[in-house]
Amino acid sequence: MSFEDLLKTSAKAARPSVCIDGFNLALPKGSGIATYGRNLAHALRVGFSPQALYGPASKRSDDPLANLAAIADGPPPRHRINKNERWRRTLTSRFGRTAFAVEPSDQVIWPAAGGGRPSVDLFWSCPNLFTLANRAFDKYGSLTPVSFEKGTAPPAVMHWTCPLPIYARDVLNIVTVHDLIPLRLPHTTVDDSTAYATRLRRSLDRADHIVVVSEQTKRDLVEWMHIDEHRITNTYQAVSIPPALAGRDENLVVAEIEGVLGLEWKGYFLYFGAVEPKKNLARIIEAYLASGVTAPLVIVGGRGWLDDDENNLLANLSARGDDRVRRFDYMPFNLLISLIRGARGVLFPSLYEGFGLPVLEAMLLGTPVLTSRLGSLPEVAGDAALFVDAYDVDSIKAGIQLLDADETLRSELSEKGAQHVSRFDMASYQTRVADLYQRLGICSA
């Protein structure tokens, strides 16, 4: 069957199609929401046909491969365009955009750094969709409606993986909210909290249903945004690491860590994630340095925002020739998995999380976790982590010392973590997602 015939008959297919947005999927090095989107697409493989909507910079081409290459090429580059043309595009965006179908093909190689090609059956492309929609909302306060080109069966559901100033016409719109950090901890972000609240409210008012990734975020929406709790479903997230990486022979991982990074197996502590205020990295570094432990602290995370405290601490250590703290701005995914497996413990005493995926990734790989009781972390970590006061350097220091000295505790946390993380495996997540769609009238095959 040709691609055109497939498009014409897809409306009659046994599996209803669900489209997710590619706003975060297009990022060159991924993000927590990009991981969420990829896991959602994978979960939809059971009973649904996953699709993805992108907003590349390039105009539509007569060459199908060129259209696919534009999607795979990452986020739109900054183009200098005529002021009048920019005004025209922004003005007209609020009246609607149209997406066209793009066939997947192995002929276009996706960048591995961003996670490779998403596991979807069909792509939709709407040039500059996200850029123009954001501009239109900022300028006119208008949401941008997007339609799916006639002659192509539209998806049954448009599932936005984060609140965006866009909605899909004539299909069910679901919006996922991960957290309300710009409202709960405004000092930890560079967002304009008033503008954020306005955009969030408009997106949620237009949504047919709202998905959250923790009970904490659900409570925040009910209490802070006054959303009817019956409009909200908590599906949590899935923690998923390719078995080929998670199950690699330990001897190979040991050799990789020692040979590539010069680190000993279970001989270092690890923080991995964004470098931003809510991650509490400055207190982690301070507590580690005061702890007196000899195992080095490894940090994997590039420059973020409002990170002067962290960078100043690290610069001072470097100037003194102190190598107890070692930082890597970026690390390939396969090497990061090995680094997590080989750590004595993962330190993640965040000030607030909508979910806290690093906690479960560490548990899945058998590594003990030190975390906090803030945000969603207690419900995500359960009784399988060592908890500290995230605002108290002495508490974090004592936790590091205990984790460093007590091998029995590390073993117990590792065993508890392996049992606890099964609640968030892909099969459980697929069930929660399928139940959500079924309640909304979209039945899986």
Give the structural domain span for 310.
243-424
Find, among 231, 181, 158, the residue nearest to 32 by Cα.
181
The pLDDT of residue 75: 63
For residue 139, is it within any domain? yes
Q: What percent of the chain has pLDDT over 70?
A: 92
420 shares its domain with 430: no
For residue 305, is it within any domain? yes
Residue 101 sits in a domain of what CATH number? 3.40.50
For residue 445, is it within any domain? no
Q: Is the pLDDT of residue 7 over 70?
A: no
Residues 6+ apart with CB under 8 A from 338: 245, 248, 253, 256, 257
Cα dihedral 38, 39, 45, 47 sign:
negative
pLDDT in tens, 151-190: 889 999 999 999 999 999 999 999 999 999 999 999 988 8
282 shares its domain with 211: no
Q: What is the tally of structural domains in the chain?
A: 2
293 shares its domain with 430: no
Confidence of residue 326 (pLDDT cuts 50, 70, 90): very high
Confidence of residue 412 (pLDDT cuts 50, 70, 90): very high
Q: Are 418 and 224 in contact (CB under 8 A)?
A: no
| Alpha helix (H) residue ranges in 292-392 | 308-319, 333-342, 357-364, 377-381
pLDDT in tens, 103-129: 999 999 998 877 889 999 999 999 999
148 shares its domain with 267: no
Q: Is the pLDDT of residue 237 over 90?
A: yes
Residue 355 sits in a domain of what CATH number? 3.40.50.2000
338 shares its domain with 349: yes
Q: What percent of the chain has pLDDT over 90?
A: 77
Relative to beta strand 97-102, strand 122-125 is antiparallel
Residues 6+ apart with CB under 8 A from 164: 21, 23, 130, 133, 134, 175, 203
- Chain center to CA of 193: 21
40 shares its domain with 172: yes
Cα 345 to Cα 401: distance, rounded to the nearest angstrom: 11
The pLDDT of residue 323: 85
The pLDDT of residue 3: 39
Confidence of residue 81 (pLDDT cuts 50, 70, 90): low
**In the chain, what is the greatest distance between 2 CA atoms, to the nearest angstrom?**
68
Place of tokens 């459980």: 428
314 shares its domain with 404: yes
pLDDT in tens, 347-386: 999 999 999 999 999 999 999 999 999 999 999 999 999 9
Q: Are 196 and 183 in contact (CB under 8 A)?
A: yes
Cα 58 to Cα 74: distance, rounded to the nearest angstrom: 11
To the nearest whole number, what is the mean pLDDT of the chain?
Answer: 91
Confidence of residue 76 (pLDDT cuts 50, 70, 90): low
For residue 48, is it within any domain? yes
213 shares its domain with 256: no
Residues 6+ apart with CB under 8 A from 84: none
For residue 433, is it within any domain? yes
The pLDDT of residue 221: 98
The pLDDT of residue 196: 94
Q: Which of 29-33, 152-156, 277-281, 306-310 has the lowest mean pLDDT?
A: 306-310
256 shares its domain with 228: no
For residue 444, is it within any domain? no
435 shares its domain with 409: no
3-class secondary structure, 157: strand
248 shares its domain with 228: no
50 shares its domain with 198: yes
Cα 394 to Cα 390: distance, rounded to the nearest angstrom: 10
